[in-house]
Amino acid sequence: MALAKLKVETTDARLSGVVVPDGAAWSNAVRADALSRVRQMGLPTKRDEYWKYTDPASLTTAEPSSAALFVNDEGPLFEAVDRVRIVFVDGVFDADASDDLTAEGVEIERLAVAMQTDIHWAKDLYGVLETRGQTPVERPLAALNTALATDGVVIRVTGKAAKPINFIYLHKDENSDAMLHNVVKVEAGAEVTILETGPAAARFSKMLEVEVADGATFHHVRAQGRDHERRAVTHCFARIGANATFKSFTLTFNGVLTRNECILEIVGDDSVAHVAGACVGDGKDFHHDDTVFVTHDSLNCESRQVFKKVLRNGATGVFQGKILVKAGAQKTDGYQISQSLLLDEDSQFLAKPELEIYADDVACSHGSTSGAIDETALFYLRSRGVPHDEARNLLTLSFLAESLEEIDDAGLAEELRDRLEAWLARHS
Amino acid sequence: MLEIKGLKVKLEEEDKQILKGVDLKIEPGTVHAIMGPNGSGKSTLSYVLSGKDGYVVTDGEATLEGADLLDMDPEDRAAAGLFLAFQYPVEIPGVGNMTFLRTAVNAQRKSRGEVELTAGEFLKEVREKAKSLQIDAEMLKRPVNVGFSGGEKKRNEILQMAMLAPKMCILDETDSGLDVDAMKLVAEGVNALRSEGRSFLVITHYQRLLDHIKPDVVHIMADGRIIKSGGPELALEVENNGYADILAEVA
């Protein structure tokens, strides 16, 4: 079927004059393939079903909208954590600001270096997991990232990583348009924690492709910065082997447009995959979209999706979450909950929870709620002397608590909780 | 301590008068009890005094040590020394009991211009007070009232009362849902708090709570008014004869 006119125009405008980074033969091939897939699919428009609740226009224009630099009065996150810092400024790796890219149990390389190497393990993952994740739902912005991503790192985890690896995304240019692509391969039995912090750019497209091999463990904790005017689309594609653990949590503050897609494919038996998120938004121009797709294609696996949103002053939250249980994926335990706390009548939460199940011995459940603050609880707290705003913030934090509990590391969870508390106090 | 004059209250949502002119004066250090049949306005009185939404005061006044209560936000009434032990204590998932107590204690201290308690000071005090109410560390750690039995919830109310050290305590049917032993424990907790500077208003259906918390004055409330006041013997009269005689007497 021919693409709609708007789609063709949008795609042509976006691709006009783009430069595809040059590298080794395999990388040129994967990028060329991705580019042709973009042309074939066409970039998304608001008429697409998958973009019904989030207008992708500002993500597909040739030039990004500028985003005022945000003066942050808070120090960087995770300062007390012993970690390998990998710093990108407006999407460009900053070697001086970064630590030595070495830690026991991991091999870290810049993407550009890997892509210029004729024989490299990343060949089996770069763009490969993304391509697998294009069915049954097309994700043209992900293919665009594969084709054009200019920077990033590839990480191979061979044992228990000695310390977490922290991608730090700094935003210093009001008109930056950054496209990063990171690849992580967690070898059998290996274990790593990836941290991601910062707003990155005026417009940011970021992909993370993760292979979690048999018996491996992957932890991911991300905090998207407080910059308000930034726009971001992020993708995480993960393939999860047997007896493996994948856990990802994202905290989002502010942002005129954030679309976080997480596409998980569980291919080995007895594995666990959790993806969770909390976001807090204030104002009519806040828009946050969590889109999740979990595919069960093996026996006896557990998946959880836990998403909580606090919305006020006309903010919009979106959740599209799906659990697909393929034929034969027996004993699947799938759980999905998406909830919003609407602090006023102007804010809205749009949710599309979906289950599609082709196996007959599974336990899957999903739920979605929108609610206001519990007035009875609010009065109870106030009657004990807790001032109105403080009481509301305490109840708001308690609403978000279930998602924060998805973070295994108590120290990281505590730090994010403190940031949330500060945000709520600031926005009282 | 607490003085209520000609208090008239209607519901916000519908044109229904609940309190039709309540007069009550509670002296410092005394215990007053209010008894009355269902729907007489006892609980409404406690809610209006503590500042719950949903009620409109159409006439009258209520003062705590001379300060106009009705003009204050609920948190300010609490800081001024008013405390309501709820008939149905509210469950708050996700907020730890300790966090809740400490937030409340320090919010009140702050509002009164006092120094906030440090974590250590607070912990020491709460442990001491919890012990006498047979509240263990596990209960203190759990989310506020979540999964608590009826008796545990009421003991938790009294613990809050002990920690906040209010001047004027209102107990709204604190005996409801309690077995005899639990009621005794709660009553002991309340009695331990009795002092010269602290007054109590005990709302109850039954005489039996008043066997444990001995009142100085008993009021009978019916149809939004206090229709009779007297000594502890009035509660016994209700226990033996019900409300019918008293209602007939004043009609």
Within 8 A by CB and 6+ apart from A185, the residues are A121, A122, A125, A154, A155, A156, A157, A210, A211, A213
Q: Residue A247 pairs with which residues in a beta bridge?
A: A219, A274
Is B235 in contact with B215 (CB distance < 8 Å)?
yes
Token output for A121: 């393990």
Cβ–Cβ under 8 Å, residues A253 and A286? no
The DSSP element (H or E) to which B191 belongs, if any, is: helix B180-193
DSSP three-state, residue B39: coil
| Torsion sign (Cα): B113, B114, B116, B122 | negative
In a domain, B163, yes or no: yes
CB–CB contact A384 B164 (8 Å): yes
- Tell me if A106 sits within 8 A of A192, measured CB to CB: yes
Model confidence over B20-58: pLDDT tens digits? Answer: 999 999 999 999 999 988 889 999 999 999 999 999 999
Residue B138 lies in a domain: yes
In this prediction, residue B140 carries a pLDDT of 87
pLDDT at B250: 73
> Measured between alpha carbons, how far is B169 from B49 in angstroms, rounded to an integer?
11
Residue of B nearest to A373 (CA): B92
Q: What is the ipTM of this complex?
A: 0.94
Q: Does A402 touch chain B (CB under 8 A)?
A: yes
Whether pLDDT at A368 is above 80: yes
User: Does the pLDDT value for residue A298 go beyond 70?
Assistant: yes
pLDDT score recorded for residue B138: 86
Checking if the pLDDT of A39 tops 80, the result is: yes
Question: Is B247 domain-assigned?
Answer: no
Is pLDDT larger for residue B112 or for residue A184?
Answer: A184
Arithmetic mean of pLDDT, B121-127: 90
Residue B108 lies in a domain: yes
**Buried b or exposed e, range A392-417, using 16+ CB within 10 angstroms:** bbbbbbbbbbbbbebbebeebbebbb
Q: Is residue B249 part of a domain?
A: no
Q: Tokens 């609407």, residue?
A: A342
β pairing state of A153-157 and A106-110: antiparallel
Query: What is residue A380's three-state secondary structure?
Result: helix
In the structure, what pLDDT confidence band is assigned to residue A410 with cuts at 50, 70 and 90? Answer: very high
Q: Residue A132, SS3?
A: helix
Q: How far is CA B21 from the centre of its chain?
A: 20
Q: Write down the pLDDT at residue B251.
A: 65
Question: Residue A312: which of A332, A338, A288 has the closest Cα?
Answer: A288
The answer to whether residue B251 is domain-embedded is: no
Q: Among A254-258, A280-284, B76-80, B185-189, name the one with the lowest average pLDDT.
A: B185-189
Backbone angles phi, psi at B238, to 5 degrees: -65, -45
Query: What does pLDDT average to over chain A?
Result: 96
pLDDT for the residue A40: 96
Which residues make Cβ contacts (< 8 Å) with residue A173, sequence separation at least 6? A90, A201, A202
Query: What pLDDT does A226 receive?
Result: 82
3-state secondary structure of A22: coil
Name the residue among B143, B106, B146 with its Cα closest to residue B123: B106
The encoded tokens of residue B93 equal: 């998932």
- In whole angstroms, how far apart are CA B220 and each of A241, B34, B243? 72, 6, 9
Q: How far is CA A183 from the centre of its chain?
A: 14
Q: Residues A389-414: what's their mean pLDDT?
A: 94
The CB-side HSE value for A34 (13 A sphere, CA atoms) comes to 28
For the stretch A163-173, pLDDT in tens is: 999 999 999 99
* CB pair distance less than 8 Å for B52 and A401: no
pLDDT band at residue A105 under the 50/70/90 scheme: very high
- CATH number, residue B94: 3.40.50.300
Q: Does A421 touch chain B (CB under 8 A)?
A: no
Count residue pairs from A and B with Cβ separation < 8 A: 79
* Cα within 13 Å of Cα(B211), Cβ side: 10
Distance, CA of A365 to CA of A358 (rounded, Å): 15
Assigned token pair, A382: 């106030």
- Burial (0-12, 13-18, 19+ Cβ within 10 Å), B68: exposed
Select from A383, A385, A394 the Cβ nearest to the Cβ of B111: A385
- Residue B234 inside a domain? The answer is yes
What digits encode the pLDDT tens for the residues B149-160? 888 899 899 999
pLDDT at A115: 97
Residues B93-115: what's their mean pLDDT? 89
Whether residue B88 is contained in a domain is answered as yes
Distance from CA of A401 to the nearest CA of B (A): 6
Please judge whether B143 and A398 are an interchain contact, meaning their C-beta atoms are less than 8 angstroms apart.
Answer: yes
Would strands B143-144 and B92-96 be described as parallel, antiparallel, or unpaired?
Answer: antiparallel
pLDDT at B244 over 90: no
3-state secondary structure of A312: strand
* Alpha carbon distance B172, B203 (integer Å): 5
Direct distance between the N- and C-terminal alpha carbons of chain A, in angstroms, rounded to an integer: 51
Average pLDDT over every residue of A325-351: 97
Name chain B contacts of A402, Cβ cutoff 8 Å. Answer: 94
Q: What global pTM score does this model have?
A: 0.90
Q: What is the pLDDT of residues B130-145, one digit of tens each?
A: 888 888 888 888 899 9
Write down the pLDDT at residue A14.
Answer: 96
Total domains in chain B come to 1
Instruction: Give the pLDDT band of residue B100 (cuts 50, 70, 90).
Output: very high
Q: Would you list the DSSP string of B102-113?
A: HHHHHHHHHHTT
Closest partner residue to A375 (CB to CB) among B53, B99, B108 is B53
Q: Does the beta carbon of B114 lie under 8 angstroms from any beta carbon of chain A?
A: no
Q: Which domain does B142 fall in, by range?
A: 2-242
Q: List chain B residues with CB under 8 Å of A398.
A: 92-95, 143
Question: B170: nearest CA in chain A?
Answer: A383
For residue A1, name the pLDDT band (cuts at 50, 70, 90): low
Q: What residues of A are in contact with residue B164 (Cβ under 8 Å)?
A: 384-385
Is A379 within 8 Å of B53 when comparing Cβ atoms?
yes
pLDDT in the model for residue B93: 85
Question: What pLDDT is attached to residue A77?
Answer: 95
- pLDDT value of residue B208: 85
Task: Using a pLDDT cut of 90, give the percent of chain B over it.
Answer: 54
